[in-house]
Structure 1
Amino acid sequence: MSIHKPVDPGVFGGALRSVPQNLACEHGLLGAVLVDSKKVLETVEEILHPDHFADPVNAQIYEKALLIYNEGRNVDPLTIIRHFEHPDELVWGKTNPKEYFAKLLTAYVSPRMAFDYAREIRDAAMRRQLMALCQQTSDLCCRPEDERAEDIVEGHEAMLLNIAMGMSESQPNVSLHEAGCTAMSKAREAVERGSALAGMSWGYKSLDRMTNGLVGGNMYVVGARPAMGKTSWALGIALRVAQTGKRTLFWSGEMTAEQVGGRAAAAKCGLNLRSVFSGRRWDVPEEAETGEQPPLEDWQWQAYQRACDDMFHIPLEIDTRAGLTIPQLRSRARRMKRSKKGLDLIVLDYFQLMRSAAKGKDLYEEGTKISNELKILAKELDVPLVVLAQLNRESEKREDKKPTEADLRGTGALEQDADVVCLIHREHYYLKKQASGGGLVKRDRETSEQYSLRCQELTDKLEASKGKGSIILAKNRHGPTGTCRMWFDDQTTWFRDAGEDPRSPAWAVQRSAA
């Protein structure tokens, strides 16, 4: 039976309320511990903690029982009573320990019932926590000058998440045989649905072949130096996943939602990115009379409109909050995951613009906290999480500008936590920079013929690298490493697989048959 004690009405409508507790179950469980501690504690230890008990006396007894049990000793009235020869008056008051233990022994229940009693005790504890959280939130709402409503909501959801995590029961171990059979079953399912992938397609076949797709619970890190196109590629992944009906959350810490939408439209309708935002043509010379670029033609506006119309069917949601914290991301992602539409992929642009809920001593420690929390979030929600990161400047100091996994240093434990590390490289960018930035200055003791030959070599390399890029798989926990060749369109800032037709749609809505 449940016993409730009255509490102050507080802000709950003025009615007399009671705190949920189940003292009868607490007494029965502790009596069972005193009679058969081994059977009872090995059953309930993982799901029941001392702070789940409503009565502080019962909490102390359970805590001491766990201490004795974990030392490998048996718990009975004689072994535990010595811990309470001088009971804490603030907790025990005038209660006599010997009389109290005798009372517990009379409330004894069989070990078979102990697990059910433990769940009842924990359920009451969760209800008490929920009541306390609601009262705390209500108090904050009555002081609007202290915190913004948005901050109160975020704090409430973060605490609610902690309570929810405490409600999940212990996850059982899985035998090797069961794990192997599950893996085989998923492989059969992949064959039946016509896919050779363990997870969702990236939207890029070369990546699919090497990584076996985007797998739930995995964290994929995409590293690049500025101007390499990491945002474009991340948006490409998000769009191509979402076009298949998979709900995707795309966070950008440096772009507005309008800019993200403009990039998606530019890729779809083949317009210059500048045209999408200005409404003018940048693929033709400026008008002689006005000295300005001519406005888009009707057919271009129509293509632009069709791209916007197609976006209606794309389940891609954009978050542009600055300095996103992990609790903020977790709160929104969990709401999406719990909804009927669900959540299939998270893309974050980019890591260094995120903030930890609790600041570390330095950037490395803070980065490590963020990385660990992101990995936990991916596993908790069982969705793939793609994280963009800006590489340090070491690659630009080298003659060969190709990035390496070591260039991720400075991002905390991101490199270690990642299941897959992709590095974007476009040699054309560096060659173009070299050609236009005085990289062809004549060297001392260099003849004109040698200088001319070097200029020609650079020109040939520049032409050969035009429109080309590569995705380097520097780390792949469940597959090979290597390089995927890509095409990059400077006008629309869009990546395609090297085998794709450059005239094919950048993305398309794949509607299911009626």
Structure 2
Amino acid sequence: MSGDTLPHDIGAEQALLGCMLAFAGAVGDAVELVAADQFYRPAHQTVFDVLVDMFADGQPTGTVAVVAELAVRGLLAKVGGHDYLHTLEASATTAANTGHFARIVVDRATRRRLVEAGIAVQQLGLGPGTDADDLVDRAQAAVFAVSERRQNDTACTAADLLPDLLATLETPLDGLQGVRTGIAGLDALTQGMRPGQLWLIGARPSVGKSTLALGIAAHTTIRQKIPAAYFSLEMPAGDLMTRLLAAEAGVSLRSLQNHTLSDAEWERIAYRIGPIRQAPLTIDDATTMTVAEIRSKVRRAHQRDGLGLVVVDYVQLLAADGKSENRQQAVAAMSIGLNALAQDLGIVVIAVVQLNRGSEGRADRRPLSSDIRDSGQLEQDAFGIVLLHREDMHDATSARAGEVELIVDKNRGGLRDTTSAVFQGHYARIVDMPAEWSEKAV
């Protein structure tokens, strides 16, 4: 397909630049709506860039000043000379039409990118490649990029970043930021899980890692109203909902499973059913899933719902994307994929991980990040790691029965420390430790 047949509107580009040259306030309005690479004609991209630079420096942005700046930069002849700049100015109507022309420019740029994405998808389908899932993931990524409002260069200088940082520092924080776990001690250590971060929750079997992960998803969606997706490779969606209902309503998990609820339990369920029903939580219980498939599903959900949290329970049950020489390489690729998913979409990803038997050989049996099964890549890629330890799993007579230690063993954004909570298995939840328990533990 030739360049001239791609969607574009030269008249709208000229009118937009004309407004920016003729009306000083129009430059700021245009910058909010359009980027240089959305202009079809290269000369127009150059004029726009110079206008934005001059506006940012507080210089006049009239035609005479822009002509002089283009001449200094040796670009005047390349954009058509001063006569063309005056032609652009003459095409201006009123400042009020800046947004109208900007939207036309953005629309045509989006259409061009859609055509380009279609060509890229066609080439993927016709080209070499043995892994269809990977090709589908790459194709969806190409189409997803079209929906992004801008695709500017993400590189920034220190001078670019400082003004926003200083302005942010002047604004006091209103409590914790990002995704909260609902457990005060853990939130104090994490200070909220932020967009773009990959967190791991690890423990030996039956210690409570899925309970914690589901509790975080419930707290995020029910109390923070942040949309979340929970990918459960081990437990059916119905069982997860049963556990969530037990935790939220404070009713016996066994009573729910055996259908032997008392009248009082029915009342507690009735009280909590509304908030649970309204929670923006989706659960996917496909037993066989790859990271590519998860990324594909998350992209669609993020586009539709604006996801803030994704939980994968658990990583070692994921199927490998393509062929790997060994399981460690496969899990390493999964880790890289999940970390990229968090950063690309600006969401929190929590990956539940199984630990090996390393902790069982230590005197205190407390787990370490190095106990994560199958791959050191997970430990390396994670922004933070939370490990669970319950003393009563090893000593039924322990004075700390019912207590679960939440060990923040890695935290790039804050403290590494241990906090305690209460494991209420009969309610399928982990909750804050009462003050009297904390005093006894000391």
Relative to the length of structure 1, the TM-score reads 0.59
Partner of 1:226: 205
Q: C-alpha displacement at 1:125, in angstroms? A: 7.8
Q: Could you tell me whether the CA contact under 8 Å between 1:186 and 1:198 is conserved in 2?
A: no
**Cα deviations across residues 476-496 of structure 1 (Å, max 9, x unaligned)?**
112111101111112112111
CA gap of 1:360–1:3, structure 2 versus 1, over 3 A, is: closer
What is the aligned partner in structure 1 of residue 272 from structure 2?
307
1:482 to 392, 395, 417: 417
| CA separation of 1:387 and 1:169: change in aligned 2, threshold 3 A | same
Return the offset for 1:121: 11
Q: CA deviation at 1:258?
A: 0.7
> Distance between the aligned counterparts of 1:269 and 1:392, measured in 2?
34
Q: Deviations over 1:168-201 (max 9, x none)?
A: 745242222432433344445552xx22x34232
Distance 1:225 1:297 in 2: 34
Q: Would the alpha carbon gap of residues 248 and 188 (structure 1) be closer, same or farther in structure 2, given more than 3 Å must change?
A: farther
The answer on whether the counterparts of 2:370 and 2:376 sit within 8 Å (CA) in structure 1 is no
1:484–1:158 distance in 2 versus 1, CA, 3 Å: same
Partner of 2:310: 346
For the 8 Å contact 2:247–2:427, the answer to whether it is kept is yes
- Is the alpha carbon distance of 1:483 and 1:300 closer, same or farther for their aligned partners in structure 2, counting shifts above 3 Å? same
- Distance (Å, rounded) in 2 between the aligned partners of 1:184 and 1:500: 39
Contact conserved, 2:353 with 2:373, CA < 8 A, in 1?
no
**Amino acid in the other structure paired with 1:276:** L
SS state at 1:496 partner:
strand
2:249 to 241, 245, 269: 269
Gaps of 5+ in 2: 9-36, 38-75, 81-107, 438-442
Residue of structure 1 in register with 2:428 after alignment? 493
Contact 1:473 1:483 in 2 (8 A): yes
* 1:121–1:111 distance in 2 versus 1, CA, 3 Å: farther
Please say if residues 140 and 296 of structure 2, whose CA atoms lie closer than 8 Å, have aligned partners that are also in contact. no
RMSD: 3.6
**Deviation string, structure 1 residues 48-92 (Cα, Å, up to 9, x no partner):** xxxxxxxxxxxxxxxxxxxxxxxxxxxxxxxxxxxxxxxxxxxxx
Does 2:284 correspond to 1:331? Answer: no
Q: Tell me the distance in 1 between the aligned counterparts of 2:326 and 2:133.
A: 28
2:401 to 466, 477, 484: 466
CA contact (8 A) 1:20 1:125 kept: no
C-alpha separation between the residues in 1 aligned to 2:160 and 2:435? 40
Residue 155 of structure 1, CA deviation: 5.9
Structure 2: how far apart are the matches of 1:494 and 1:157?
A: 35
Match of 2:12 in 1: none
2:381 maps to 417
Cα distance in structure 2, aligned partners of 1:158 and 1:257: 28
Cα distance in 1 between the residues matched to 2:109 and 2:250 = 62
1:357 maps to which residue? 321
Q: What is the CA distance between 1:387 and its match in structure 2?
A: 0.7
- Pairing partner for 1:254 from 234, 244, 261: 234
Q: Are the counterparts in 2 of residues 250 and 346 from structure 1 also a CA contact under 8 Å?
A: yes
Contact 2:204 2:356 in 1 (8 A): yes
Q: Map residues 110-509 of structure 1 onto 2, 5 A cutoff.
A: 111-112=78-79, 127=115, 129-130=117-118, 133=121, 156=136, 158-162=138-142, 164-165=144-145, 169=151, 171-189=153-171, 191=173, 194-195=174-175, 197-243=176-222, 244-280=224-260, 296-339=261-304, 341-432=305-396, 459=397, 462=398, 464-499=399-434
Question: Counterpart amino acid of 1:206?
Answer: G
Residue 486 of structure 1 contacts residue 495 of structure 1 at CA under 8 Å; is this kept in 2? yes
8 Å CA contact 1:190–1:198 kept in 2: the answer is no
Q: How many aligned residue pairs are there?
A: 341
Contact 1:367 1:412 in 2 (8 A): no
Amino acid at match of 1:182: D
Amino acid at match of 1:262: T
Identity of aligned residues (%): 28
TM-fit CA distance, 1:275: 1.2
The more displaced of 407-416 and 252-261 is: 407-416
Aligned equivalents of 2:348, 2:435: Cα separation in 1? 25
Deviations 1:18-62 (A, max 9, x none): x8599xxxxxxxxxxxxxxxxxxxxxxxx9xxxxxxxxxxxxxxx
- Between 1:325-334 and 1:167-176, the stretch displaced more is 167-176
* 1:335, distance to aligned residue in structure 2 (A): 1.6
Q: Shift in Å at residue 316 of structure 1?
A: 1.1
The structure that is helix-richer by fraction is 2
1:259 Cα deviation from its structure 2 partner: 0.6
Query: Cα 1:122–1:273, aligned 2, differ >3 Å: closer, same or farther?
Result: closer
Structure 1 CA distance for aligned equivalents of residues 274 and 111 of structure 2:
49
Relative distance call for 1:160 and 1:397 in structure 2 (3 A) is same
Q: CA separation in 2, counterparts of 1:255 and 1:188? A: 46
State the distance in 1 between where 2:132 and 2:330 align: 24
Secondary structure of 1:348 counterpart: strand
Question: Any idea what SS the aligned residue of 1:277 has?
Answer: helix
Q: Is the 8 A contact 1:221 1:418 kept in 2?
A: yes
The separation in 2 between residues aligned to 1:132 and 1:480, in whole angstroms, is: 45
Residues 121 and 142 in structure 2, CA contact (< 8 A), matched pair in contact too: no
Contact 1:366 1:412 in 2 (8 A): no
Contact 1:371/1:412 (8 A) holds in 2: no
Paired letter, 2:322: A
Does the CA-based 8 Å contact 1:252-1:318 persist in structure 2?
yes
- 1:160 and 1:488 map into 2 onto residues whose CA distance is 41
